[in-house]
Amino acid sequence: MIITVANSIFNSDIRGHSSAIIWILLSVEILLLALLALQFYKAILITVIVIFGVLLLYYFFNNPFILFLTFLLSILAGTVELSSDVSISFVFITFIILTLFYLVKISDPSQKKSIDDHFTIKFLFGFFLIWSLFSVYIAIDKTLAIGYWRNYFAGFITFVYALKFVNTKKQIKIFLSVLIIWGVILSFIELYILFSLGNVATAMVKLFMSKNLLATSWGRSNYLASFHVFIIPIAFGYLMSTKSNKVKFAVSLALILMASTLILTLSRGGMLALLIGMTIFVVKALKPKLLIPLLFLVTILSIILLLNPLTVVIFEGISTVESNASTHTRLNFYIDTWHAFLKHPITGVGLGNLGHYAVFKITNSTASAHNIVLGALGETGIIGAILYLSAIFYSFITSFNNYLREKIERVRILQWSFLCSFIAALAHSMIEPNFEGFQFAILFWGTLAVFLRFSKLKQDEKLNLLGASNQ
């Protein structure tokens, strides 16, 4: 009796819901026909865009994992200029939507709690955000300080969002694919920029004269290199751990492409950081049966390096690093940053405000310490530096412990590849401002959250994700 009544109520709700949708669609259709009859074409276009936008938001709200992937990919969409004064940043718009949806979702009591909150990382990162926001008050350029704070906040929101909405093996497998595709798309963007400079010979000469010609609306040459440095070790670990031959072939091509376009950035720091990460990976994870595919990839990459005329430029820069003007400029700014920290050891000088405390003041553009430790000390003081660096250090220790707990060798390889990616990113952050960047913060903290979730999967789910049986 009760079940019959419940079914009748449920069915009536379905019918009522369907009826409401039909009436809405009919009303929209009548509106569009009326506008068409009146030849209000702009109004039709606006109406269609609004309807599509509402439907898309509704879809994202009910599929938060898809919104997370869209958020990551929107970085690559860059900025579109509507006029000389107005532009649209796709990633910033998506960031606002993702933040609002997250706040709504976590305030809903019907939502089930996360599997593991990773409270310590969120606590340290959250208090860093609070502390660094207070330091904005002493910043000379408060607008710039708030802009930098937003970058760190984006990393935090991405981290907690991914922890909550990326949970299944299917989602993690899709994410790994999207992460590698992300790097491939970036490579094609770089190649497009190269070809837009003219023919290959002309483009190479132009890059030789000014490597920052390789720039997008959201990043310049060295910054673009940081994404390859972070993605390549993970892609290599996925290649070595998966059992799918199709995946191996696709990832191999992706690695060759990303390594080739990393060279185009002429980033000496990026090449050195990647070398550090990959060396650690090979020493720890390489087994005799993996030697042949590794040698094949090394051979292909060696040929690319030898044929690329920009390789000479990179290695000359590395060999003369001690006498390079860029090196001396950074060393001088390290001293300026240290002096700024000594003047404001507790609060720092404010995010992004180090340029105002340099010997030769930099007030018309952003100035970075190009060193994650010195930058944190100079900008947020000893307390802010301890909080932020502790969040990163604790994240690394947690990831390392997850690796140690793994029993299956191929799963350990993938976990180790992420640790090597982590190390490469940290090594790069000692000479480049990657962690403080809006886009890199999103990609790094989102990937960290996914790998923390990966460690919580059951062993058979991990193996299934890698396309294998228990071997």
- Does pLDDT of 396 surpass 70? yes
Q: Is residue 111 part of a domain?
A: no
- How does pLDDT run across 229-277, given as a tens digit for each residue? 999 999 999 998 998 889 999 999 999 899 888 888 888 888 889 989 9
CA angle 88/93/94 to nearest 5° reads 135
Q: Is residue 260 part of a domain?
A: yes
Same domain as 351, residue 414 = yes
Q: What is the mean pLDDT of residues 134-161?
A: 92
Tell me the DSSP string of 440-466: HHHHHHHHHHHHHHHTTS-HHHHHHHT
Q: How confident is the model at residue 88 (pLDDT cuts 50, 70, 90)?
A: confident
Same domain as 125, residue 100 = no
Same domain as 280, residue 174 = yes
Measured between alpha carbons, how far is 91 from 68 in angstroms, rounded to an integer?
11
Q: What is the mean pLDDT of residues 128-143?
A: 90
Which residues form the domain of 448?
A: 121-465
Among residues 71, 106, 141, the one where a domain terminates is 106
H or E stretch including 300? helix 291-307
> Number of helices (H) and strands (E), helices first, in the chain?
18, 2
Same domain as 94, residue 137 = no
Q: Is residue 140 part of a domain?
A: yes
Q: How confident is the model at residue 2 (pLDDT cuts 50, 70, 90)?
A: very low
Same domain as 125, residue 89 = no
Domain count, the chain: 2
Same domain as 400, residue 300 = yes
- How does pLDDT run across 187-216, given as a tens digit for each residue? 999 998 888 877 665 666 566 666 667 788
Same domain as 367, residue 282 = yes
Whole-angstrom Cα Rg for the chain: 25
Highest mean pLDDT among 196-205, 213-222, 337-346, 381-390: 381-390
Tokens found for residue 218: 């959201």
**Cβ atoms of residues 385 and 444 within 8 Å:** no
Same domain as 94, residue 185 = no
Same domain as 72, residue 180 = no
Same domain as 78, residue 49 = yes
Q: How confident is the model at residue 360 (pLDDT cuts 50, 70, 90)?
A: low
Same domain as 277, residue 424 = yes
Give me the amino acid identity at 432: E
Measured between alpha carbons, how far is 329 from 145 in angstroms, rounded to an integer?
23
Neighbours of 275 (CB within 10 A): 14
Helix axes 372-405, 409-429, angle to 10 degrees: 170
- How does pLDDT run across 22-39, given as a tens digit for each residue? 666 566 666 656 666 666
Q: Is residue 378 part of a domain?
A: yes
Q: Is residue 63 part of a domain?
A: yes
Q: Residue 50 has what pLDDT?
A: 78
3-state SS, residue 87: strand
Q: Is residue 113 part of a domain?
A: no
Q: Is residue 461 part of a domain?
A: yes
Same domain as 84, residue 132 = no
